[in-house]
Chains A and B, each alone.
Chain A
Amino acid sequence: MKSSPWSLVFAAWLIAALATLGALFMSEVMGFAPCVLCWYQRIFMFSLVFVLAAGLFPFDPRVVRYALPLATAGLLVAGFHLLLMAGYIPENMTPCRQGIPCSTVQIEWFGFVTIPLLSFIAFLTVNVLLIATYFKTSK
């Protein structure tokens, strides 16, 4: 049962669901307005919850084909966001509008955990789990 392909996809789903609810908690309950880059990450993360869940019942190994593009795209946006916040990409290059600059740090836990970092870690883990599922099922 442990680390069966099903559990790998399930773990990926769990992370996506946690990230989705966490993002909704911060925008709807805590009242932080999501910036433009956050919205793109949300688009990919929110859809992963449904795509991955659909691949679990009945288990379909091809779910990797459908979920991996979303997870990779999300990872790229999150990586871009991290570079932006770290100052490697100047703010005027980014598509931020409506008064919420993407370089604003809204949460800082333990001095280094920011919302884009959480997003990046979540996307990275989902990617790793999906690639592991691919190798497990293609053998």
Chain B
Amino acid sequence: MKQKNIFIGSAALLIIAFIVGAFFYNNQKAEQAAQVAKQNQMALVRAHSPSFGNPDAPVHIVEFFDPACGTCAQFYPMVKQLMADHPDKIRISVRYAPFHPGSDQVVKVIEAARKQNQFRQALEALFASQSVWVQNHTAQVDLIWGPLGNLGLDMDRLKNDMNSPEVAQLIRQDLADAKTMNVTMTPEFFVNGKPLPNFGFDELKKLVEDALVNTSAR
């Protein structure tokens, strides 16, 4: 009987220590992330970053994303809906964080498509066909031309633009800023400069709604 109590007691103690430790660790991490974001507002968004929505919107979301990331593709329609639910209240700027091998090549294509005013169309086509061109967590740029074929892009111009030094510089800058902002996973969102305390769409929605309340009170 005594042995059983010792056993159950230690098991419970270990599990409680785990939960309490996890709680404190997460809190500390979230606080640190908020501090880092506060100190590095310069790196949050650059003039070259694609931006959508009302430029004077009270809420500004910055999203770091990877076109080859499955969760980013899942978030895309949800964020779009969130913006549609609050028309003219939300602006979004996107930053590239091509963490998957080969993904930087795909970002180059998106940037080249942007020069032909087809950023959104190219991104949507790529997200929709992700299972075709992302294989084994590796982005295969050779496989994206099929899915992009229907957009009416000037392919010669696109292939020329994607290898321009300014596009390469843009990706380098975005990756450097991702590092500064401590972005290690995608998608990562910042709402009016604040990072998500915990990852999840509900958390993003809550942060946006809080920001809407705060800014409309002024």
Contact = CB atoms under 8 A, between A and B. Distances in A.
Interface in B1-60: 3-4, 6-7, 10-11, 14-15, 17-18, 21-22, 25-26
B113 to A, nearest CB: 29
B21 A29 contact: yes
Interface residues of A, number: 17
A37 interface: no
Interface class of chain A by DSSP = helix
A21 to B, nearest CB: 5
A57 B14 contact: no
A57 B4 contact: yes
Contacts of A6: 3
Interface class of chain B by DSSP = helix
Contacts of B6: 10
Nearest to A6: B3
Contact-size category for B:
10 to 19
A56 B25 CA distance: 33
Contacts of A18: 14
A76 B22 CA distance: 30
Given A17-B11, A18-B14, A29 B22 contact: yes
Contacts of A17: 10-11, 14
Given A10-B7, A21-B15, 13 more contacts: A6-B3, A10-B3, A10-B6, A14-B10, A17-B14, A21-B14, A21-B17, A24-B18, A25-B21, A29-B21, A29-B22, A53-B7, A57-B7
Interface of B: 3-4, 6-7, 10-11, 14-15, 17-18, 21-22, 25-26, 184
Interface of A: 6, 10, 13-14, 17-18, 21, 24-25, 28-31, 53, 56-57, 59
